[in-house]
Amino acid sequence: MTPGPVPAPLDEPGSDEPIDDLDLAILAGLADLYRRADPVPAGLVERIQFAVDLDDLDVEVCRLRDDSDLVPAGARGQEESRTVTFDSTNLTIMITISVVPDDTVRLDGWLAPPAALRVELRTTTGHLSTDADERGRFVIESVPRGLAQLVVRTPADGTADDDRSVVTPSIVM
């Protein structure tokens, strides 16, 4: 097998010249090749933008806990639900996602350690919010199906040990 052309070292003539029409045509051909051979999955750009579009960049990111040994929720009839747990350094968020008859979902959630904190659910169609009670319990109803992300706001008044918000990875409702 014969190796391809070797790129010119930076000190050779032409190596620091501006990109010309031939260079642009080659780059366009490469881009077209990759578009056909390995296209960007549908919706990927929107999912990435959703995942990184946070108003508050001072956040602690939770990780999804692997609860594969848990028994699935919703063993009663046609109910469809699942339980998901997220962990961070200072907070655990457990949610049960239940499908309701109008094809939205209901989130029942618990914060540990328990605290009365603001809970926001970011969806592709907007934000829903509620407050967890002093036992850390919260409910968000009429959640549209699709990509969503929880943000738990800690008090900004300095009463919490760490006044950063906690955010979960995006999940599909």
User: Which residues neighbour 57 within 8 Å (Cβ) at sequence distance 6 or greater?
Assistant: none
Q: What is the pLDDT of residues 81-112, one digit of tens each?
A: 889 999 988 899 999 999 999 989 999 999 99
Q: CA-CA distance, 148 to 136, in Å (whole number)?
A: 20
Number of domains in the chain: 1
What's the pLDDT at 83?
A: 92
**Distance between first and last Cα of the chain:** 51
In DSSP terms, 94 is beta-bridged to 85, 110
Q: Is residue 124, in this structure, part of any structural domain at all?
A: yes
Domain membership flag for residue 45: no
Specify the pTM: 0.62
Return the CATH number at 93.
2.60.40
In the prediction, which pLDDT does 72 show? 43
In the prediction, which pLDDT does 80 show?
73
Domain, as residue range, for 132: 56-172
Q: Which residues contact 89 (CB under 8 A, 6 or more apart)?
A: 60
Task: Write the DSSP symbol of residue 8.
Answer: P
| Confidence at residue 124, expressed as pLDDT on a 0 to 100 scale | 86
The predicted-structure confidence for 12-49, as pLDDT tens digits, reads as follows 666 678 889 999 999 999 999 998 999 888 877 777 77
Put the strands of the sheet holding 81-87 in their side by side order. 63-64, 81-87, 92-99, 105-112, 137-143
pLDDT higher at 1 or 143 = 143
Residue 166 inside a domain? The answer is yes
| Pairing between β-strand 165-167 and β-strand 59-61 as defined by DSSP bridges | parallel
